């Protein structure tokens, strides 16, 4: 590293934290502040760990020669130091380069190191007290013709076990970058414990490679989220728009999950002082735009004619889709559209991808159980249609592919805007744990669409429940409501301007020569 001791050291004097902080909410997150010992045993994870284990994990990105690294700790005691140290190995010796205070609301600390040398691998360790440490490696920016991204979503709490199969497979694939698209936590009111559990499950894949994590609805305590620029929602359903739980809780979740991302494009806060994180990350010549596709999105309740038992569900296949695409509705919002427009024009990436929480269409027919057919779901970004088309136009202008999660059902779709197949390619990756709420692609007439590829029975051109044009190329219907877990691997071939979408089941050992992906995969697409 260049000039370690001169350019990187930014240390603060050690200090003790002896008073405890009370959370600004009474019914949320029993371990997020340091009176946690008064709140009983946590059923998700044992937080009363040995002091040598108090650093749970670290997570980082490097962008524009700036390292941002979050240290996530278990709850600290009032008499302990609330400070964590960052050390790097230089010339075979560990050298301290920075100290940061642990935030008493959520137990995380953020390190920012300018002038980072991204041309070499650097070992790091996080330290607390005399014995606690977490060791990893900051990878150099890869210089290869193929860059790989592993993508995940929906880490259901119906399975609180380890994730050894994922760790084994992902480390075998050895991707350059990781992307967790949301729902790392399904425990709504207990994000801190669930986030620590997530870290224990997956830290062996992100301790030594960059990792993008973005929160979705379950992470901030709601079954669905239409953020509507940060207003207060009237109920946990949130369908009138906004956030139901205390804004400091929402801010804590976003801080823990996104503080290590590159600086936001425009850091202006939304209502309630909630921050933003939309930004981009360039890795190995592939540029990744990171969106918040639900933070500004309008809630449907009270704004459109209700077409079913819920404001966000449409049961009537004969309704008029234009009736719900009313003026004034927002999807990404102008701020993110401006970001995408500038990013698409100024990006240095040889290939580009947009990462977000969910897909820009209705890519499923059956929800929760095979008997539950839903014509259109406003939780998807197929609605509002005008906002959907603006987003896809911006992604198309950037010659980018779209990668997301949330739907539990893995799909590869070519979007249509004015006509079929004139929009970007999109890959929604499978759920990590798919025993919570399965979905199926199952056209009611059970007929293939026009220009079907023959890989699966129901591929080809269709209209979704909002009358959006889509071409289905692959889908991974679960055999039962509790099956189908897996992850996505995306290969960016810069030399040939191609992107390959892979879908790997959880129970497959990818190191074996006969390892098979989900039926219908892989899909390779050319990028203009």
Write down all domains in the chain, each with its CATH number in brackets.
4-138 (2.60.40.380), 146-526 (3.60.21.70)
Q: Is the pLDDT of residue 256 over 70?
A: yes
- pTM check: above 0.85: yes
What pLDDT, in 10s, does the model give residues 185-224?
Answer: 999 999 999 999 999 999 999 999 999 999 999 999 999 9
Around Cβ 368, how many Cβ atoms within 10 Å?
Answer: 14
Asked whether residue 420 carries a pLDDT value surpassing 70, the answer given is yes
Q: Which residues of 74-103 are buried (b: 16+ CB within 10 A; e: fewer)?
A: bbbeeebbbbbbbbbbeeeeeeebbbbebb
Residue 483 has a pLDDT of: 67
SS3 127: strand
Helix (H) or strand (E) holding 460: strand 460-463
Owner of token pair 């004097």: 13
Work out the angle between the directed axes of helices 247-258 and 191-206 (0-180°, nearest 10): 10
- Predicted confidence at residue 481, as pLDDT, reads 65
Torsion of CA 354, 357, 363, 366, to 10 degrees: 170
Q: Whats the size of the chain, residue-wise?
A: 528
Contacts of residue 505, Cβ cutoff 8 Å, sequence gap at least 6: 430, 484, 485, 486, 517, 518
Burial class for 481, CB neighbours closer than 10 Å (0-12, 13-18, 19+): middle
Is the pLDDT confidence value at 16 over 60? no
Residue of 397, 391, 389 lying closest to 344 (CA atoms): 397
- Give the pLDDT score at 7: 35
Q: Is the pLDDT of residue 6 over 80?
A: no
Q: Do 239 and 299 meet the contact criterion of CB atoms below 8 Å apart?
A: yes
Tell me the average pLDDT across 494-498.
98
DSSP symbol at 114: S
Q: Which two tokens stand for residue 157?
A: 């709490």
CB atoms within 10 A of CB 179: 26
């Amino acid at each position: 590293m260049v000039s370690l001791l001169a350019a990187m050291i930014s240390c603060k004097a050690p200090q003790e934290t002896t008073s405890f902080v009370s959370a600004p909410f009474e019914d949320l997150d029993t371990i997020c502040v340091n009176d946690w010992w008064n709140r009983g045993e946590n059923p998700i994870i044992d937080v009363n760990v040995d002091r040598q284990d108090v650093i749970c994990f670290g997570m980082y990105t490097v962008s524009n020669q700036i390292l941002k690294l979050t240290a996530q700790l278990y709850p600290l005691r009032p008499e302990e130091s609330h400070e964590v140290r960052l050390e790097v190995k230089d010339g075979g010796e560990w050298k301290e380069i920075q100290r940061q205070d642990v935030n008493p609301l959520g137990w995380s600390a953020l390190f920012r190191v300018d002038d980072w040398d991204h041309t070499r691998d650097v070992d790091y360790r996080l330290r607390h007290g005399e014995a606690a440490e977490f060791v990893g490696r900051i990878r150099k920016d890869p210089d290869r013709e193929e860059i790989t991204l592993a993508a995940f979503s929906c880490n259901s709490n119906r399975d609180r076990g380890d994730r050894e199969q994922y760790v084994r497979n992902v480390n075998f694939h050895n991707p350059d970058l990781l992307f967790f698209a949301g729902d790392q936590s399904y425990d709504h009111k207990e994000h801190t414990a669930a986030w620590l559990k997530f870290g224990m499950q997956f830290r062996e894949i992100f301790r030594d490679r960059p990792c993008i994590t973005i929160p979705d609805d379950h992470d901030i305590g709601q079954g669905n989220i239409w953020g509507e620029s940060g207003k207060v929602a009237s109920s946990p359903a949130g369908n009138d728009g906004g956030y139901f739980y205390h804004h400091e809780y929402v801010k804590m979740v976003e801080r823990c999950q996104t503080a290590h991302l590159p600086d936001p494009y425009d850091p202006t806060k939304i209502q309630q002082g909630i921050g933003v994180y939309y930004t981009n990350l360039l890795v190995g010549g592939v540029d990744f735009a990171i969106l918040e596709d639900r933070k500004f999105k309008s809630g449907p309740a009270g704004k459109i004619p209700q077409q079913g038992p819920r404001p966000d569900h449409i049961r009537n296949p004969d309704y008029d889709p234009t009736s719900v695409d009313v003026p004034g509705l927002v999807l990404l919002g102008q701020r993110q559209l401006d970001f995408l427009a500038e990013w698409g024009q100024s990006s240095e990436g040889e290939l580009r991808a947009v990462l977000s929480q969910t897909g820009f269409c209705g890519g499923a027919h059956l929800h929760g159980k095979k008997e539950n057919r839903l014509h259109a779901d406003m939780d998807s970004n197929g609605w509002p249609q005008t906002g959907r088309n603006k987003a896809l136009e911006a992604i198309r202008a950037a010659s980018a592919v779209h990668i997301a999660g949330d739907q539990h059902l893995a799909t590869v779709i070519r979007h249509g805007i004015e006509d079929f197949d004139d929009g970007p390619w999109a890959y929604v990756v499978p759920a990590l744990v798919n025993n919570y709420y399965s979905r199926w692609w199952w056209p009611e007439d059970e007929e293939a669409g026009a220009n079907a590829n023959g890989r699966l029975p129901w591929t080809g051109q269709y209209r979704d429940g909002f009358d959006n044009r889509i071409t289905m190329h692959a889908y991974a219907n679960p055999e039962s409501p509790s099956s189908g877990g897996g992850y996505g691997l995306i290969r960016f071939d810069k030399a040939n301007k191609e992107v390959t979408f892979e879908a790997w089941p959880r129970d497959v050992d990818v190191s074996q020569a006969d390892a098979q992906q989900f039926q219908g995969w892989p899909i390779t697409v050319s990028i203009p």
